[in-house]
Amino acid sequence: MEAINVSANKAVEDSEATSPSSVKNPVKSRPISVLSPPDPVPVPGGGVSTNMKKLQREEIIRNFNKDKAAPVITSTPSKVCGKCSKVLSSTQPAVKAMDKVFHSSCFCCMSCCRPLQGMQFYNREGSPQCELCYRKSLAACSRCGERITDRVLKAMGKCFHVHCFCCSTCSCTLEGLPFIAGEDNKPYCVQDYHRRFSPLCEICKDPIVPAPGSEEIVKVVALDKNFHIKCYRCEDCVRPLSSEVDKCPGYPLDGRILCIKCYSKRTKP
């Protein structure tokens, strides 16, 4: 039986290979996306020549590269200065701050234009400000006179440190609490304001203050004197008096407030 030479791009289908008469005709098979190279030239002893292998390899590489898309060349986007909006060159010195990039000459104080590269600064609504200008722009506390660098408490049309806004009498903190501005335009807690500025009762000498839960002072005024409701009594018999005329009014006599009975006794001839 003679040997059968088969080219590199041909395939032979064998059955059970019992005799030479059972060998079927060769069936050619070619890849769809790759061009088929020419049939190799047989060499003595069988196989494919070296030159033909090289041609096949070059053809496959050439067809493979033909299917690849051309590379897209992209450039790095240019950076823009956060102040002058001009493009920053890669050779220029730059400063990165506040999530922006600046020319070193553009990174300066928004108020005095002092260069800030390598220095402490404050972010004022997106613009840098040096420490000196920042402190000058801060509100001064109405009580201590110092600049307020943390929280500002505003009351009575003034600015205060939180710890400086306190009662002018007992020094308790007034943050979040009701207070009253006194006649001297200073803040007071409610209790101390009434102790200092509320009228005193002519009988008990205590200040007349609002009832719990109320902001209104209820008092009786007679002979330019102030009385608690409960203290408004006849100064002779201590009978309770009323500010209403039809009940039990008081009658003034020689600087004293009397009930009708005691008044009649004193004025009886």
- Per-residue pLDDT, 120: 87
Collect all residues with Cβ–Cβ distance below 8 Å to 243 and sequence separation of at least 6: 220, 232, 249
What 3-state DSSP class applies to 134?
Answer: helix
The rounded distance, in Å, linking the Cα atoms of 142 and 164 is: 9
Q: How far apart are CA 226 and CA 230, in angstroms?
A: 12
Give the integer Cα–Cα distance in Å for 83 and 107: 8
Query: How far apart (Å, rounded) are the C-alpha atoms in residues 103 and 80?
Result: 9
Question: What is the C-alpha end-to-end distance of the chain, expressed in Å?
Answer: 174
Using an 8 Å Cβ cutoff, are 10 and 22 in contact? no
φ, ψ of residue 257 to 5 degrees: the values are -105, 120
pLDDT the model gives residue 19: 36
| Fold match, 80-136 / 153-197 | yes
Instruction: Enter the tokens of residue 112.
Output: 């005095």
* Positions in the chain whose pLDDT score sits under 50: 1-46, 64-76
Q: Which of 2.30.30.90, 3.40.50.2020, 3.20.20.30, 2.10.110.10 would CATH assign to domain 80-136?
A: 2.10.110.10
What pLDDT is stored for residue 69 in this prediction? 42
pLDDT of residue 257: 84
Tell me: the pLDDT tens digits for 118-165? 888 888 888 899 988 988 888 999 999 999 988 999 999 999 999 999
What value, to the nearest 5°, has the Cα angle with vertex 175 and ends 170 and 180? 60
**Superfamily holding 220-267:** Cysteine Rich Protein (2.10.110.10)
Which CATH number applies to 153-197: 3.40.50.1820, 2.10.110.10, 3.40.50.970, 3.10.129.10? 2.10.110.10
* Predicted pLDDT at 154: 92
pLDDT on residue 49: 55
CB-CB neighbours of 9 under 10 Å? 15
- With a CB cutoff of 8 Å and minimum separation 6, the contacts of 165 are 143, 153, 155, 173, 174, 175, 187
- The reply to whether the predicted model has a pTM over 0.85 is no
The predicted structure's pLDDT at residue 54: 60
For residue 94, list its beta bridge partners: 103
Positive or negative, the CA dihedral 170, 171, 173, 177 is: positive
Domain boundaries of the chain, sorted by first residue: 80-136, 153-197, 220-267
DSSP element (H, E) containing 52: helix 50-67
Q: What is the pLDDT of residue 28?
A: 37
Q: Determine the Cα–Cα distance for residues 253 and 267; give it in Å rounded to an integer.
A: 9
